[in-house]
Amino acid sequence: MNNLVLQKLLHSPMLFKNNPSKFARNFIPSGHIANENTEKEIHPNILSGFLEFHSKRIQQSMKFYIPEPEGDNRLTEDEVVKLQNDITYFLPYKSTFIQSEANVELNKKEKDEFLSFNSGIDIDMAKLNAKDVTATYNVYLEDTETVDDTGSPIYRGCVFVYFNDSNDFYYDPNDYFYSFREDGSYTFWLPEEGSFYVYTDTTAPYDNGPYSNPSLNSMVALIIAAHTKLCLMLIYPQITNTSSVKGIKIENANRVPLSYKFSTSEFIRKPKYEHKILKLDLFGTNGTSNTGNSNETGGRAFHAVRKHIRQYQDGKITFVKAHFRGSKDIGIVTKDYEFKTNTDRS
């Protein structure tokens, strides 16, 4: 887990109280918060109270870290769709905090307006005259222990996004309520009694219609994507390398004092919180793979085959273990590069 980013988020209420101008430079409201269609300025007492509340509930939640997959170690779009259609959504704990990293491509206008997110499992910004940066998504999820009119569990979520290139957070202080449908789709809403409703652009094309602000929908899509990632990686241990990191436990969170200084050097010294790392593993590095050669000895070079989905006619999904195929006599392929072929042989 990126402890520096987490500590900055946890210390945000202290920064807001001690140095409001620095807070405003480091924490930027998303495009649908306090814009031309809403109340212009969030009341300081309301924002201060929320930051304290949010910091405490993150400290007291179970934490998961999902790093950005490396190289070809990624699910394909088709695999994501099949898996999403097959999973049951849940939260392993009532309060769950997910920190997830992803490479995003965006230009300044996109960052300022916080638009054009893709809600897939690998979240990327639209590729428009963009430069590559890393974003750290900090998503708080909670099981409300209630159900909607279809009997589906209702969850609520809140997200702060940290951009590593500029060292700033884009935030939305709202808790969005949402539930999933049987087909994997979701519905969400923002209660009018919420503290930040009057500061949120909830314009819609017609009465009781869907929210039309792209920034608002993007933030909710990030919440849904984080929840989906967590479920996929917990339900399918075949593709997940899970490890635990010791640190501050939930029951001790209230005993850890927050510092008054908001500096990188101060946060680096802070101990980590206990959390689980869920890393996508499609090449068998978690010890569950089959590294033996298959019976294929025909016209293909020796190459690695990552874990992949096999879906049966009845809809059941299983994973084929990572393995090697092909003949070394023909050649050896590493990733996309073939460095030995028949033409190389004398």
pLDDT tens-digit profile of 194-231?
999 999 999 999 988 899 988 898 899 999 999 999 99
* Highest mean pLDDT, choosing among 12-26, 81-95, 96-110: 12-26
- Distance between CA atoms of residues 103 and 72, nearest Å: 14
Q: At 130, give phi and psi (nearest 5°).
A: -105, 165
In which band, very low, low, confident or very high, does the pLDDT at 256 lie, cut at 50, 70 and 90? Answer: confident
For residue 48, give every residue at least 6 positions away whose Cβ sits within 8 Å of its Cβ, in sequence order, or none.
13, 16, 17
- Distance between CA atoms of residues 140 and 158, nearest Å: 5
The residue that leads in pLDDT, 293 or 20, is 20
* Highest mean pLDDT, choosing among 118-132, 238-252, 332-346: 238-252
What per-residue confidence (pLDDT) applies to 312?
53
Could you read off the pLDDT of 38-49 as tens digits, one per residue?
Answer: 988 899 999 999
Domain positions in the chain are: 3-280, 283-346
- Distance between CA atoms of residues 122 and 115, nearest Å: 16
Specify the amino acid at residue 296.
Answer: E
User: What distance, in Å, lies between the first and last C-alpha atoms of the chain?
Assistant: 51
User: What does R_g of the chain's alpha carbons equal in angstroms?
Assistant: 23
Task: State yes or no: pLDDT of 26 exceeds 70.
Answer: yes
Residue in 113, 101, 110, 102 with CA at minimum distance from that of residue 129 = 110
Report yes or no on whether pTM surpasses 0.75: yes
Q: At 61, give phi and psi (nearest 5°).
A: -100, 160
- Distance between CA atoms of residues 54 and 339, nearest Å: 53
What per-residue confidence (pLDDT) applies to 83?
77
- Distance between CA atoms of residues 130 and 128, nearest Å: 5
